Amino acid sequence: MDITQAFPSKFLKADDLQGTTRTVTMESVAMEEVAPGESKPVLRFVGIPKGLVMNKVNTATVVSAYGKETTGWAGRNLMLFAQTVAFQGRMVPAIRVAAVQQDAPAAQPAPAAAPAPEQQTLPTDPAPAAAEQPNDPIPW
- Structural domain contains residue 2: no
Q: What is the pLDDT at residue 97?
A: 97
Whether the pLDDT of residue 21 is over 50: the answer is: yes
Residues 6+ away with beta carbon under 8 Å from 54: 29, 40, 41, 42, 43, 62
Residue 90 included in any domain? yes
Which residue range forms the structural domain that includes residue 88? 9-99
Reduced to 3 states (helix: H, G, I; strand: E, B; else coil), residue 12 is: coil
Q: Which residues have CB under 8 Å from 95's CB, separation 6+?
A: 12, 13, 14, 17, 52, 58, 80, 81, 82, 83
The answer to whether position 30 is within a domain reads: yes
Domain count, the chain: 1
Instruction: Provide the CATH number for the domain around residue 92.
Output: 2.40.50
pLDDT in tens, 25-79: 999 999 999 999 999 999 999 999 999 999 999 999 999 999 999 999 999 999 9
> Would you call 70 helix, strand, or coil by DSSP?
helix
pLDDT at residue 20 tops 80 = yes
Position 105 confidence tier, pLDDT thresholds 50, 70, 90: very low
Q: Is residue 15 part of a domain?
A: yes
Question: Does 101 score more than 70 pLDDT?
Answer: yes
48 in a structural domain: yes
